Structure 1
Amino acid sequence: MTHVANPLPVLLEGDVYRIYYSGRDANNRSSVGAVDVNIITRQVICEHNEPMFVHGNEGSFFADGVSIGNCYEADGIRYMLFMGWQNPAAGHWRGDIGRLIVNADLTLKLESQVPFMGADATDPISLSYPWVMRRDSDGYDMWYGSTANWDAGNGEMLHTLNYASSTDGHHWNRRGLAVPYVIGQAQAFSRPTVIGSTETGFEMWFSYRSGAGESYRIGYARSNDGHAWQLDLNACGIDVSADDWDSEMIEYPYVFIHKDQRYMLYNGNGYGKSGFGLAVWVDA
C-alpha cells in the first residue's frame, strides 16, 4: 500500500534494471516489490503489481517486515540479504539478517526459516541492512548494522556499522566495529553501500542520524583497505532538497556504476513513503 524503501538494482539488459524495494501493507509490514526502469531514459518499463517476496508468519524472524540490503554470488548462486523485523507487543523492535535465493528468472525464494546471521556475543541486540562484496582475491567482506544500545544517553540509539569476513560467502567471522561513530554527530547508522577495491581504495555511503534531533541524512566514509574507515560526512555528494519529496530526510542509499557513470538510488521523506530517487554523480 505504501513505501518503496531500500531500492536495490539488478541489471536486466542494456540500460534496464529491476529495482527491488521494500513496500508496506496496511499493518505496516514490509515485503519485497519490484519495478523495471531504464535508468538512462528514466522510463518505467514495468511495474510488478504482486510482491516478489512476502514477510513471514507470526513468530518468524521476519514476521513484521523485510528490508533488503544487496545481492552477491557464492558457489554459482545469487543471494539477496535482508533485515528481518520483529516487533513484539511487549518488547522493543529488533532485527536479524536473512538470505533469499535469487532464481534465474529473478524471482525470490527464502533460503531458511532460521536467520542467516542472528544475535551473538558480538551483536547482542539487533542486526540490520547487510552489504556483501567479493574481494579482489578469494573471500568476501560484509558491512552491516548492529545495535550497541537503544539509548546512548541523548535519546538516540547507538547503531554502528560492523564488519565480517568470509572465505566462502556462507560462514562469517564477525570482527566488530568498522566505521567510527561520534555521539551527537553520527551515531545511528543504516544501510551501508560500498564500491572500490584494494587497489583504488574503498568508498562507503550510508544513512545516519546525529542524535541531536535531525532526521536521516546520507553520509560518507573512505578506507584504503576496507577495514579502517574515516568519516567524511560532508563528502557524500548529496543533501536534502529545499522543498521537494526529499526535503526532510534522505536515506537508504545504493551506489552502483553503469557504463562508467556513478549512480545512487536513495529514499526521501517518510523512510521511503515519498518514493525513491536516482542521483547522478557529477565531478566538481
Structure 2
Amino acid sequence: MGWVKKGRIFNPDGSGDWMHNSVLTPTPLLLGDETIRIYASFRDREGRGRIGFLDLDARDPSRILSVGRVPVLDLGRPGCFDDNGMLLGDIVRVGDQVYMYYVGFQITRQVKFLAFSGLAISVDGGKSFERVSSAPVMDRVDNGLFIRAIHTVLAEGDVFRIWYAAGNGWRTIDGVDYPEYDIRYTESPDGRHFPDACGRPVLGCGPGEYRIGRPRVRKVDGGYEMRFTFDTLDKQYTTGKAYSTDGLSWTRSDEVDVPRSASGWDSREVSYPCVLDTPHGRYMFYGGNGMGRDGFGYAVWSP
C-alpha cells in the first residue's frame, strides 16, 4: 500500500510567451467524472506567473486532453499587489461558482517581494475568472507583514476554514534573501472576508528550518491530513506531512511517501503535493525541480 510515481505530465518547452517555463503549485479540479483540470502558475520569460490550466484524462492523467491558450487570470494592474505574478492557492466549488484563491506578488525596493492573497470567481464552470477586487482579500497585518498566502480553503457547514502561510522576516543564505514563514489558520463566514486578522499559528519551523508553507489540507478518516513544503538552512527544499483530529492541533510526521527520483525532472525536488480523489483512483500531483521549473507529474495511490 502506498504511492506509485507515474512520471512527468507536462513542462512548457520555452517556446510560449506567458506559458514559457515552470508549472508552480499544480492544483486539480475534477470536471465531471472523466476530466481533471489542473490550474497552475506558468512563468513568462521574466519569471512572472500567470494562472492557466490544462485538462487531463481522469482515467489516465498522463494523457493531456487540452492546454489553455490564454491565462484565466493575467497580471494585475500596475501598482497593484499582483502586478508581478501569481501563484495558485486553491480552487473551491461554492454553489454553482468556482472560487480561485491566488497569491499575488509585488516587487518593492526595500525587500525582495510582498505576497498577499486575492480571490477571483468563475461563473462558467472554471473557464474564465474575474477578480472580486484589485486589492487583496487577505492583506498585510502585524503578524503577516510580507506574506499572507492562502493555500487551502474547506467549506464546512456555514464556515470557510482556511490554512495559510504568514511571513514576517527574511533569511540570507549564501548572499540570497529568502522569506521566513509559518502556517496559520483562520475562518471566514463567506470565503471573502476574514474577521480574525491575526489567525492562529498551527505549524512552525523545526530545527534547522526557516520556512514552512503551502499547506494542503484534506479531510481523512479520523480528522485531517496536511501536506506542506519546507526549506532548511542547508537548502533541502522538500515536503512533509502532519495529522490532526480538528484541523488546529497538528502532529508532524514528515514521512517521505513520494521520494525524489535518482535522476531527472524530480531528482532534486518533489514540491507542492496536492491529492485528488476521483472515481478512477486517488492521484497526487506535484512539481519537480526548481519549484516546478522542470514541470509537474503525478503519483497513483495503490491500496
Aligned counterpart in structure 1 of residue 138 of structure 2, from 108, 112, 117: 117
For the residues of structure 2 that align with 1:5 and 1:39, how far apart are their CA atoms? Answer: 21
Q: State the one-letter code of the partner of 1:20.
A: Y
The yes-or-no answer on 1:178 pairing with 2:178 is: no
1:204 alignment partner in structure 2: 226
Aligned counterpart in structure 1 of residue 189 of structure 2, from 136, 149, 167: 167
Q: State the one-letter code of the partner of 2:113.
A: W
Query: What per-residue deviation string (whole Å, max 9, x for no partner) do you get for residues 243-267 of structure 1?
Result: 0210011111211211273321110
Contact 2:33-2:58 at 8 Å conserved across structures: no
1:213 alignment partner in structure 2: 235
Q: 1:282 to 1:116 in 2, by over 3 A?
A: same
Aligned counterpart in structure 2 of residue 187 of structure 1, from 210, 225, 244: 210
The yes-or-no answer on 1:7 pairing with 2:7 is: no
The DSSP-based 3-state class of the residue aligned with 2:75 is coil
1:86 alignment partner in structure 2: 106
After TM superposition, give the deviation of residue 131 of structure 1 in Å: 1.1
Query: What per-residue deviation string (whole Å, max 9, x for no partner) do you get for residues 175-204 of structure 1?
Result: 2211132130x431231111116x621000
Q: State the one-letter code of the partner of 2:206.
A: V
For the residues of structure 2 that align with 1:183 and 1:119, how far apart are their CA atoms? Answer: 27
After TM superposition, give the deviation of residue 8 of structure 1 in Å: 1.5
Contact 1:129-1:190 at 8 Å conserved across structures: no
The DSSP-based 3-state class of the residue aligned with 1:248 is coil
2:246 alignment partner in structure 1: 225
Gaps of 5+ in 1: none
Query: What per-residue deviation string (whole Å, max 9, x for no partner) do you get for residues 162-187 of structure 1?
Result: 11112332222242211132130x43
Identity %: 27
The yes-or-no answer on 1:17 pairing with 2:36 is: yes
Contact 1:180-1:231 at 8 Å conserved across structures: no
- Name the stretch that deviates more: 161-170 or 74-83: 74-83
- Name the stretch that deviates more: 253-262 or 93-102: 253-262
Contact 2:139-2:148 at 8 Å conserved across structures: yes
Tell me the TM-score normalised to structure 1 length: 0.90
For the residues of structure 2 that align with 1:55 and 1:193, how far apart are their CA atoms? Answer: 24
After TM superposition, give the deviation of residue 152 of structure 1 in Å: 8.8
- The CA RMSD measured in Å over matched residues stands at 2.2
Q: State the one-letter code of the partner of 1:9.
A: P
The DSSP-based 3-state class of the residue aligned with 1:270 is helix
Q: State the one-letter code of the partner of 1:98.
A: G
After TM superposition, give the deviation of residue 210 of structure 1 in Å: 2.1
By relative contact order (CA 8 Å, sep 6+), the higher-ranking structure is 2
After TM superposition, give the deviation of residue 274 of structure 1 in Å: 0.8
Contact 2:119-2:192 at 8 Å conserved across structures: no
The yes-or-no answer on 1:28 pairing with 2:47 is: yes
Q: State the one-letter code of the partner of 1:24.
A: R
After TM superposition, give the deviation of residue 156 of structure 1 in Å: 5.8
After TM superposition, give the deviation of residue 89 of structure 1 in Å: 4.2
2:262 alignment partner in structure 1: 242
1:15-94 mapped onto 2 (5 Å cutoff): 15-41=34-60, 42-74=62-94, 76-94=96-114
After TM superposition, give the deviation of residue 232 of structure 1 in Å: 0.6
After TM superposition, give the deviation of residue 37 of structure 1 in Å: 0.5
For the residues of structure 2 that align with 1:202 and 1:163, how far apart are their CA atoms? Answer: 13
For the residues of structure 2 that align with 1:24 and 1:263, how far apart are their CA atoms? Answer: 25
Contact 2:113-2:146 at 8 Å conserved across structures: no
Q: State the one-letter code of the partner of 1:193.
A: R
For these two proteins, the number of residue pairs brought into alignment is 278
For the residues of structure 1 that align with 2:149 and 2:189, how far apart are their CA atoms? Answer: 22
Query: What per-residue deviation string (whole Å, max 9, x for no partner) do you get for residues 188-234 of structure 1?
Result: 1231111116x6210000111122322x2111000010000111112
For the residues of structure 2 that align with 1:221 and 1:275, how far apart are their CA atoms? Answer: 26
Q: State the one-letter code of the partner of 2:292.
A: G
For the residues of structure 2 that align with 1:47 and 1:70, how far apart are their CA atoms? Answer: 19
